[in-house]
Structure formats: structure tokens, C-alpha cells
Amino acid sequence: MRYRRLGTSGLQVSELSLGSWLTFGKQIGDPTAEKLMKVAYDGGINFFDNAEIYARGESERVMGRILKKTKWRRDSYIVSSKAYFGTDSKLPTQIGLHRKHLVEACNDALKRFQLDYLDLYFCHRPDKNTPIEETVWTMHQLIMSGKVLYWGTSEWSAQEIMEAHMVAKQHHLIGPVMEQPQYNMFHRDKVEV
């Protein structure tokens, strides 16, 4: 497996990752998910991608159970989650990138994964209803509290990413280090920059 630096960080991630968007907790059972994760890990994949919205949080629970069962060293793999959509309810306090939702979504993801910290935490979509300053500050605080190591964006425009970097620089905060566009064998119209 080949590895590369994650965005502007020094973290080395496998060029391939195993995501659980359409599978874990929804279309396949735990035994199949475990086999997939073991094959991926044994093949050198160290990045396992997830999100609060995937199977309404069940995908993170499945992955967490598997990680606990395999007893892989915590420093040998990378786990990500994403926040924005919530898990089920669409109450205004349970979706978006405002401080309340980001903090509670992070805490909930940690419980579902049965982990002490997330390696990567993505803002799953831009939030026009929350000031970018609030989002950047909250992500900085999650890093400073030890709950998150790196944060990034998913499906943000170049302009939105630039604004986040400007806010972080202006206020001496930790900015995003990665962007995750939807890009795979079936969706190739967006290109990683």
C-alpha cells in the first residue's frame, strides 16, 4: 500500500480507504463488515471513513464494535466521522455546524465508536446558517480538548474553504487540513485539489 500526507498535515494515510456510506449497519451484517475491515487492514489500508448520518449512526456502532473486537493498536489506524446532517431528528439543534451540534455529534460519535478521540472530523457540508467563525472556533476547541486530531471539510467550495482558513489565521486557530469531495469510481466530476 502506498501512503501520502493528509492535506497540509504530516499524517500519513493510505491512498485507499474503506468507507461505510452505503454498507455498514444497513446492507451488510457485522460479520461481513468485519471481514471487509480485516482484508482492508491486512492490505495496508489504515483509513476507515464514517459519518453520523450513515445508517443513522449504526454504521459507527458497527465499526466501533469491530475495532474493539480486532484489538488493533489504536496508533495503527485512522478513523473519521462527519457532522452536519444529524442521525435521525431534524430539529434545528440537531443539524448544522453550530457549536452545540458539532460538540454533541463528536461526543456521540466517540460513544458509538467506543474511542477516546477521532483522528479526522469533517464538516460534512457548508452551513449557511452558522457563522464560519463559530464553526472554525468549535473545531479548534475540539482539537484542543483532545477529542479530535485534525479537522476538515466535505463538499465545500474553494471559496468556503478559503474563508475557513482566513478565519483560522486571523484568530490564531487551527484551520482545516483536508477536503473530502465525493470522488470515486462512479462520481468523477469533482476533482481533488
d(CA 159, CA 162): 5
Q: Of these residues, 41, 54, 77, 150, which one is catalytic? A: 54
Interatomic CA distance for residues 84 and 98, integer angstroms: 9
Per the annotation, the verdict on 54 as an active-site residue is yes
180 Cβ contact partners less than 8 Å away, ≥ 6 residues apart: 49, 82, 122, 152, 153, 154, 155
135 vs 30: CA distance, rounded Å: 34
What are the catalytic residues?
54
